[in-house]
Structure 1
Amino acid sequence: MTLLNPTDALARAVAGVASHGFLIVARNTRGDSVYLKPEGSVFALRVSNHARTPKQRANHPDSVTSLVIRQPKAESQIDALVAEALRNYAGECRKREG
């Protein structure tokens, strides 16, 4: 099993989320946190290499779930994390909309 380093794993995760119709709407200056939203949605999904800080929570209150990758991962592991993040995102959106 070949592992992707965290930077490449994050890029694969962002591409995976984007392949489901999400667009990149924000990226921090270091490039290690990316916020994506489906067109027309007020809610974002965050992909990062670290947990959210209070500053990030304040700057992006619309982020309803995060996909965090800190360690090298296999492509299949990343794809599973993307699928889980998309399910969590959909669930959080339902809770907040209804």
Structure 2
Amino acid sequence: MSLLAPKEALARAVAGVAAHGFTVVARNTRGDSVYLKPEGNPFALRVSNHARTPKQRANHPDAVTSLVIRQPKTAAQVDALVEGAVRTFAGECRKREG
């Protein structure tokens, strides 16, 4: 199994989340944090290479789930992280809406 560099793994993760019906709504200037939302949903899923900073929390309080990739991963590992993040996102939306 070949490993994807973190940058490639992040790109695969963003594409994987988008394949679940999410659209990119924001990206930081370095391109290492991407926020995606399903259409009509007020909440966002964040894909990044680092934990959220207080500034990011203030700028994107709608981000209810983060998928963080810091190390090289296989494609299968990235795909599993995407599936888990999408499930967690759905659960967080249910909690916040109900």
TM-score of the superposed pair, with normalisation by structure 1 = 1.00
Deviations 1:25-78 (A, max 9, x none): 000000000000000100000000000000000000000000000000000000
The equivalent residue for 1:88 is: 88
Question: How far apart, CA to CA, are the structure 2 residues paired with 1:37 and 1:84?
Answer: 16
Matches within 5 A, 1:30-69: 30-69=30-69
1:66 counterpart SS class? strand
The equivalent residue for 2:74 is: 74
Question: How far apart, CA to CA, are the structure 1 residues paired with 2:5 and 2:90?
Answer: 28
Question: How far apart, CA to CA, are the structure 2 residues paired with 1:53 and 1:20?
Answer: 26
User: What stretches of structure 2 of length at least 5 have no aligned partner?
Assistant: none
Higher strand share: 1
Aligned CA RMSD, in angstroms, stands at 0.2
2:50 counterpart SS class? coil
The aligned length equals 98
Q: Which runs of 4+ in 1 moved over 2 A?
A: none
1:25 counterpart SS class? strand
Deviation at 1:24, TM superposition (A): 0.1
Deviation at 1:82, TM superposition (A): 0.1
The equivalent residue for 1:17 is: 17
User: What stretches of structure 1 of length at least 5 have no aligned partner?
Assistant: none
Q: What is the identity percentage for the equivalent residue pairs of Structure 1 and Structure 2?
A: 81
